[in-house]
Chain A
Amino acid sequence: MSNREKYQAAFAETFMLDPKDLTNLKYQEAAAWDSVGHMALMAALEEAFGIEMDIDDIIEFSSYEVGQDILAKYNVSIEKAA
């Protein structure tokens, strides 16, 4: 599974969304992406990529796109969409 597929799966499974609806998704735009959902997403990403995120990065992680830049800090490169 590619990093993009892992990244999409974390969002889709945590928020029960179709992967095609993830582009441009922002915090609180999906019903499940509330403060509890945010912690569930962070846990899913940490498990998927074997990382532990800093509090500042968790707070900055405000959208599907921003999250990809944040993961790059942890040497997790999300491949460009085809």
Chain B
Amino acid sequence: MSEGPNAVAFDINGIISHQRNRYPVLLIDRVTAVDPGKSASAVKCFTYNEWFFPGHFDDEPNVPGFIQIESLTQTFIMTFLCMEEYKGMKTNFVSLNNVKFKRKIVPGDVLEIDAVLTSFKRGIAIGSVQSAVKGEPACSGDFIVAVPDILDRFKPKTP
């Protein structure tokens, strides 16, 4: 978690103004700390009212893996979308590696997410993200995300 001199935080309105995800796929509630270009921490509070719990599963509600991945990703992209020059840009997955799910997440759990940006060059962001519930490790992985608006600046000329 970042607590350096440049650390800032975002409530839900701040998140909405910096990234493009919206209901039903805006999957972080608060960014608790950001060190621009370096790291971000966020929380996601899961309530039974989430749209996916009735289907996953009606007799044993728990957070689907793809939702966990998306929560981690939305924390990760805040490491650079928090900067004015990248604010509001859309992002795409390039790759996910070493993804692990270590804990079932159920209604009432608060997922605490910490993301580190190890490289951000010419629209390619590389980093790793970890998460936990009550201090117990949950989902984690190494992510590569692209920012198409930046990639477009570097596209070769075609005849």
Contact = CB atoms under 8 A, between A and B. Distances in A.
Interface in A30-58: 35-36, 38-40, 42-43, 55, 58
Contacts of A58: 122, 154, 156
Interface in B126-157: 146, 148, 151-157
B158 interface: yes
Contacts, number: 47
A59 interface: yes
Given A38-B154, A62-B158, 19 more contacts: A28-B158, A35-B146, A35-B154, A35-B155, A36-B94, A36-B146, A39-B121, A39-B123, A39-B124, A39-B151, A39-B154, A40-B124, A42-B154, A55-B153, A58-B122, A58-B154, A59-B154, A59-B157, A62-B156
Interface of B: 92, 94, 121-124, 146, 148, 151-158
B127 to A, nearest CB: 15
Interface of A: 26-28, 35-36, 38-40, 42-43, 55, 58-62
Contacts of B152: 35
B58 to A, nearest CB: 39
